[in-house]
Amino acid sequence: MAGKGVSSDSARTVRSRPWTRFVLPSYVFVVMAYTLVPIAVMILYTFNKAPNQRLTFSWHGFTTEWYSKLFEVQDLTQALWHSLEVAVLSSIIATLLGTPAAIALARRKFRGRGGIDLVVVTNLTAPTVVVGASLLGFFIALSVPRGLMTILIAHVAFN
């Protein structure tokens, strides 16, 4: 073995095992199906025309009645628009801030780089609830009024 890491002989034996070409993709497919099929079934049954407005597992026809009723509720549509607004704005801001930062971290050495790396890794490893509660405590300590702006700041921090 000339260098560090895995030798070429052991890497070659893993690639040459014929069962890995079938078993590993099959395993990934089964895990993905186990995760996504229940979600797909739930989405499908939101279009089911159930008699007497009951939850039923037999198909009674296609309808969008439930979605039209959903959009009649003003609080829900307002929450949906706020969610979409936060999603779009936080994605744009995080991209505009994160792309130059990632390029700088990958290509340059500068003072404070370790601190920025620490903040990035902490955000990736800390549970979302802990970071959210910390941000909430921070906003309360600074007497920042909670609203769309604080939610946007938190989402940009997560992205």
| Residue 1 located in a structural domain | no
With a CB cutoff of 8 Å and minimum separation 6, the contacts of 47 are: 62, 63, 64, 66
| Residue 54 located in a structural domain | yes
Average pLDDT over residues 99-119: 88
47 contacts 61 by C-beta, under 8 angstroms: no
Instruction: Produce one character per residue of 25-48: b if its CB has 16 or more CB atoms within 10 Å, e if not.
Output: eeeeeeeeeeeeeeeeeeeeeeeb
**Residue 112 pLDDT class (50, 70, 90 cuts):** confident
Query: What is the pTM (predicted TM-score) of this model?
Result: 0.62
Q: How many independent structural domains does the chain possess?
A: 2
Q: From 20, 41, 72, give the residue that closes a domain.
A: 72
Residue 150 and residue 109 share a domain: yes
Q: Give the model confidence (pLDDT) of 53-85 as tens digits.
A: 666 777 888 888 888 888 899 999 999 999 999
Average pLDDT over residues 120-134: 84
Range of the domain at 21: 7-72
Query: What is the spatial distance between Cα 129 and Cα 83, in angstroms, rounded to a whole number?
Result: 18
Q: From 72, 102, 117, give the residue that closes a domain.
A: 72
Residue 136 and residue 62 share a domain: no
**Residue 24 pLDDT class (50, 70, 90 cuts):** confident
**Residue 14 pLDDT class (50, 70, 90 cuts):** low
Q: From 22, 43, 72, give the residue that closes a domain.
A: 72
With a CB cutoff of 8 Å and minimum separation 6, the contacts of 46 are: 66, 67
Instruction: Output the average pLDDT for the chain.
Output: 85
Residue 158 and residue 130 share a domain: yes
Residue 103 and residue 148 share a domain: yes
With a CB cutoff of 8 Å and minimum separation 6, the contacts of 146 are: 136, 139, 140
